[in-house]
Amino acid sequence: MDFNYTRTVRVTSYLLLVLAVTQALYTILYITEVNLSRQLIWGLEGLLFTVLVAFAGAAMVQAKSYQVGWSCIAFSAVFNLVQVSIGLTMFGPFREATSQLEALGSVMGAVVALSFMIYYAAKLLLGFAALIFGIAKLTGGAKALGGLTAVVGVLAMFANGILIVFGRDTFLPSAVAGGSGVLATLLLALCLMKLSPEDKEILSHP
């Protein structure tokens, strides 16, 4: 099966859009305390992240410019896959073990902290990608979408960078970093989805 650059970009944008929706849905269900299956949602995200690695990586190789943007998307997918895998395979057993032996609480805390560190790194990379492709869209004529995407990308980079440097318990709520990253992902998906033939020519040739 052959995927040219245009098809690769289109599939990548769809994957990013679905992932933004699933992450927003999970957040809403968590806040409203609705009972949900983490296995189902995180498992689906793990599958989508795996496929995203392939398509964003292919786009990075196919493109003649903006490789850093594609690299950000591809490696954010790798980081997110690792983070989701930690949540699915380690949170449950450690929580159960902690309930039986309180001394393991610090170990559980370390696992959660590791998961969030990887999560913030992934969102920072997506913010960087949003900045890169937002500017590309801005210079291509779509000033509203491109400008908004670039601004949100900077916000996501800043918020997640702060939590990486200073830790999850710093002065900035974790929800701000995560929320800005999800919004950056959504706008990034729209930028890539709305590429005109001229935009695709710019992105695929120097």
The predicted structure's pLDDT at residue 90: 86
Place of tokens 């609705």: 34
**Joined tokens for residue 173:** 């709520």
Place of tokens 């790798």: 78
**Whole-number percent of the chain with pLDDT over 90:** 55
Give pLDDT tens digits for 184-198. 999 999 999 876 544
Distance between CA atoms of residues 84 and 194, nearest Å: 29
CA-based R_g, the chain, Å: 18
The predicted structure's pLDDT at residue 14: 96
Q: How confident is the model at residue 45 (pLDDT cuts 50, 70, 90)?
A: very high
Angle at the Cα of 22 from the Cα atoms of 17 and 24, rounded to 5 degrees: 95
Q: How confident is the model at residue 48 (pLDDT cuts 50, 70, 90)?
A: very high
The predicted structure's pLDDT at residue 200: 52
The predicted structure's pLDDT at residue 199: 52
Angle at the Cα of 120 from the Cα atoms of 158 and 137, rounded to 5 degrees: 55
The predicted structure's pLDDT at residue 198: 45
Give the Cβ contact number of residue 151 at 10 Å. Answer: 15
Cα–Cα separations (whole angstroms), residue 202 to 1, 4, 54, 92, 190:
25, 15, 22, 47, 17
**Joined tokens for residue 174:** 């974790």
For residue 91, the Cα-to-chain-centroid distance in whole angstroms is: 21
Give pLDDT tens digits for 77-124. 999 999 999 989 988 887 887 777 777 778 888 888 999 999 999 999
Q: How confident is the model at residue 202 (pLDDT cuts 50, 70, 90)?
A: very low
Higher pLDDT, 34 or 85: 85
The predicted structure's pLDDT at residue 205: 47
8 A C-beta contact, residue 130 and residue 156: yes
Distance between CA atoms of residues 189 and 200, nearest Å: 14
Task: Indicate the average pLDDT of the chain.
Answer: 87
Residue 167: phi, psi to the nearest 5?
Answer: 100, 165
Q: How confident is the model at residue 55 (pLDDT cuts 50, 70, 90)?
A: very high
